[in-house]
Amino acid sequence: MAETAITTVLAKVAELVAWEAAVLLEVGDDVRLLRDKLEWLHTFIRDADRRRRLRDDEFVAVWVRQTRDVAFEAEDALDDFLHRAGRRGRAAWTRAAAPGCAVGWWSGCAGEVALRHDLSSRIRQIKKRLDEISANRAAYNIDHTPAPAWVAAAASATTLAAWDDLEEYTVGLGKYSDRLIEQLLDDAVAARTVVSISGESSIGKTTLARKVYQSPEVRNHFEIRTWTVLSHKCRAADVLRDIHRQMTSQLRRAPSRQVAEDGCDGAKACGHGKDISNQLYKSMTGRRYLVVVDGSIAVTDWNSLRASLPDEGNGSRVLLITDSAGLEAVGHAGHTYDPIELTRLSPENTYEVFRRRVFGRGDCPGRYKSRYYQDVFRITRGLPLSIVILAGVLRSKELPAEWDEVMAQLAPAREQHKGSSSSNNSRRIMSLAFDDLPHHLKSCFLYLAAMRESTPVDAQRLVRLWVAEGFVRPRRGSIMEEVGQGYLKELISRCMVQLVDKDEFGAVQTVVVHDRLHAFAQDEAQEASFIESHDSTDVLAPATVRRLAVLNSTTDRYVQLSNALPKLRSIICDFLEGRNNRSGKCIQYSDLGFLHASKFLRVIDIQGLELKKLPNEIGSMIHIRYLGLQCGDLEKLPSTIGNLVNLQSLILGGRHVHVLEVTAAFWRIPTLRHVVAPFALPSRALGDLHNLQTLHGVQPRGWDGGNNPLAKATNLRSLELSELTADHAGALEAALESLDLLVHLSLRGDSLPASVFSVPSLRRLQSLKLWGPVDAPEGPSSAEDVRYIRPNLTRLSMWSTMVKQKFVNMLAELPSLGELTLMLDAYDGDRLEFGDAGFRSLHKLKLGLPELEEWAVGADSMPGLATLTLCRCARMQMLPEALAGMEQLEEVVLYSMPDMVGRIKEGEGEDHHKVKHVPVIQTIY
- Please check whether residues 321 and 431 belong to one and the same domain: no
Band of the pLDDT at 296, cuts 50, 70, 90?
A: confident
Q: Are 920 and 219 in contact (CB under 8 A)?
A: yes
Mean pLDDT of the 836-844 span: 94
| 43 located within any domain | yes
Question: Which among 748, 802, 803, 757 has a CA at the least distance from the CA of 780?
Answer: 757
Q: Are 886 and 894 in contact (CB under 8 A)?
A: no
* Percent of the chain surpassing pLDDT 70: 82
Predicted pLDDT at 666: 94
DSSP secondary structure code for residue 877 in this structure: -
Of residues 68 and 491, more confidence is placed in 491
| 60 located within any domain | yes
- Please check whether residues 198 and 309 belong to one and the same domain: yes
Of 326, 341, 356, at which residue does a domain stop?
341
Q: Are 176 and 340 in contact (CB under 8 A)?
A: yes
Of 491, 526, 561, at which residue does a domain stop?
526
Band of the pLDDT at 98, cuts 50, 70, 90?
A: very low
* Rounded CA separation 1/45 (Å): 9
Q: How many CB atoms lie within 10 A of CB 363?
A: 13
Of residues 575 and 368, more confidence is placed in 368
Over residues 208-222, the pLDDT tens digits come to 999 999 999 999 999
Over residues 226-238, the pLDDT tens digits come to 999 987 667 788 8
- Please check whether residues 700 and 842 belong to one and the same domain: no
Write out the residue range of the structural domain in which residue 20 sits.
Answer: 1-95+111-140
Q: Are 215 and 224 in contact (CB under 8 A)?
A: no
* Rounded CA separation 43/336 (Å): 58
* Rounded CA separation 345/328 (Å): 26
Predicted pLDDT at 908: 81
Q: Are 399 and 157 in contact (CB under 8 A)?
A: yes
Report, in angstroms and rounded to the nearest whole number, the Rg of the chain calculated over CA atoms: 30
Say yes or no to pLDDT of 147 above 80.
Answer: no
* Percent of the chain surpassing pLDDT 90: 51
Sorted by sequence, the CB contacts under 8 Å of residue 260 that are 6+ apart come out as 771, 799, 824
Give the least confident one: 157-171, 469-483, 898-912.
Answer: 157-171
- Please check whether residues 132 and 224 belong to one and the same domain: no
- Please check whether residues 776 and 741 belong to one and the same domain: yes
Say yes or no to pLDDT of 157 above 50.
Answer: no
Predicted pLDDT at 153: 41
Residue 788 is part of a domain; what is its CATH number? 3.80.10
Residue 446 is part of a domain; what is its CATH number? 1.10.10.10
Say yes or no to pLDDT of 5 above 50.
Answer: yes
DSSP secondary structure code for residue 752 in this structure: B
* Rounded CA separation 775/768 (Å): 16
| 654 located within any domain | no
Q: Are 897 and 877 in contact (CB under 8 A)?
A: no
Say yes or no to pLDDT of 539 above 70.
Answer: no
DSSP secondary structure code for residue 360 in this structure: T
- Please check whether residues 234 and 309 belong to one and the same domain: yes
Say yes or no to pLDDT of 838 above 60.
Answer: yes
| 641 located within any domain | no
519-537: burial string, b at 16+ Cβ within 10 Å, e else: bbbbebbebbbbbbbbbeb
Band of the pLDDT at 629, cuts 50, 70, 90?
A: very high
- Please check whether residues 402 and 483 belong to one and the same domain: no
Predicted pLDDT at 195: 96
Q: What residues pair up with 795 in beta bridges, in sequence order?
A: 767, 819
Best-predicted range by mean pLDDT among 87-101, 138-152, 515-529? 515-529
Predicted pLDDT at 261: 38
- Please check whether residues 432 and 487 belong to one and the same domain: no
Say yes or no to pLDDT of 300 above 90.
Answer: no
Predicted pLDDT at 609: 78
What's the N-to-C CA distance of the chain in angstroms? 55
- Please check whether residues 180 and 244 belong to one and the same domain: yes
Say yes or no to pLDDT of 344 above 70.
Answer: yes
DSSP secondary structure code for residue 774 in this structure: B
Over residues 647-678, the pLDDT tens digits come to 999 999 876 667 788 999 999 999 999 999 99
DSSP secondary structure code for residue 590 in this structure: B
* Rounded CA separation 410/764 (Å): 49
Predicted pLDDT at 579: 44
* Rounded CA separation 766/819 (Å): 11
DSSP secondary structure code for residue 248 in this structure: H
Band of the pLDDT at 585, cuts 50, 70, 90?
A: very low
The sign of the torsion formed by the CA atoms of 22, 25, 27, 29 equals positive
Predicted pLDDT at 669: 94
* Helix ranges restricted to H, 745-894: 786-789, 805-811
Q: Are 778 and 802 in contact (CB under 8 A)?
A: no
Say yes or no to pLDDT of 615 above 60.
Answer: yes
| 849 located within any domain | yes
- Please check whether residues 85 and 223 belong to one and the same domain: no
| 361 located within any domain | yes
Question: Across all residues in the chain, what is the average pLDDT?
Answer: 84
* Rounded CA separation 431/524 (Å): 10
Amino acid identity at 807: F
Predicted pLDDT at 817: 96
Question: Which among 68, 80, 78 has a CA at the least distance from the CA of 4?
Answer: 68
Q: Are 749 and 724 in contact (CB under 8 A)?
A: yes
| 853 located within any domain | yes
Say yes or no to pLDDT of 700 above 80.
Answer: yes
Residue 227 is part of a domain; what is its CATH number? 3.40.50.300
* Rounded CA separation 78/30 (Å): 12
Say yes or no to pLDDT of 262 above 70.
Answer: no
Band of the pLDDT at 418, cuts 50, 70, 90?
A: very low
Say yes or no to pLDDT of 150 above 60.
Answer: no
Band of the pLDDT at 274, cuts 50, 70, 90?
A: low
Band of the pLDDT at 873, cuts 50, 70, 90?
A: very high
**CA distances for 849 relative to 252, 256, 543, 834, angstroms:** 15, 19, 59, 15
Over residues 495-505, the pLDDT tens digits come to 999 999 988 78
- Report the run of H or E that residue 822 belongs to, with start and end: strand 819-823
Question: Which among 725, 660, 704, 712 has a CA at the least distance from the CA of 685?
Answer: 712
Q: How many CB atoms lie within 10 A of CB 779?
A: 21
Predicted pLDDT at 97: 38
Q: Checking phi first, is residue 202 left (phi over 0); if not, alpha (psi -120 to 50) or beta?
A: left
* Rounded CA separation 279/308 (Å): 8
Say yes or no to pLDDT of 682 above 70.
Answer: yes
- The answer to whether the predicted template modeling score (pTM) of the entire model surpasses 0.75 is yes
Give the least confident one: 508-512, 629-633, 851-855.
Answer: 629-633
- Please check whether residues 197 and 240 belong to one and the same domain: yes
Q: What residues pair up with 474 in beta bridges, in sequence order?
A: none
Amino acid identity at 435: D
Predicted pLDDT at 702: 85
From the number of C-beta atoms within 10 Å of its C-beta (0-12, 13-18, 19+), residue 109 rates as middle
| 755 located within any domain | yes
Band of the pLDDT at 96, cuts 50, 70, 90?
A: very low
What's phi and psi for 896, nearest 5 deg? 50, 50
| Contacts made by residues 17-20, CB under 8 angstroms, sequence distance 24+ | 20/106
Question: Which among 405, 354, 403, 383 has a CA at the least distance from the CA of 166?
Answer: 354
Q: How many domains does one find in the chain?
A: 6
What's phi and psi for 291, nearest 5 deg? -110, 120
**CA distances for 237 relative to 332, 534, 557, 808, angstroms:** 19, 21, 15, 47
The sign of the torsion formed by the CA atoms of 445, 449, 450, 454 equals positive
Say yes or no to pLDDT of 64 above 90.
Answer: no
Predicted pLDDT at 661: 86
Over residues 457-506, the pLDDT tens digits come to 999 999 999 999 999 999 999 999 999 999 999 999 999 999 999 887 88
Mean pLDDT of the 714-733 span: 93
Of 772, 787, 812, at which residue does a domain stop?
812
- DSSP for 654-671, please give it: -SS---B---GGGGG-TT
- Please check whether residues 363 and 404 belong to one and the same domain: yes
Of residues 163 and 103, more confidence is placed in 163
Predicted pLDDT at 536: 62
Sorted by sequence, the CB contacts under 8 Å of residue 396 that are 6+ apart come out as 152, 153, 160, 493
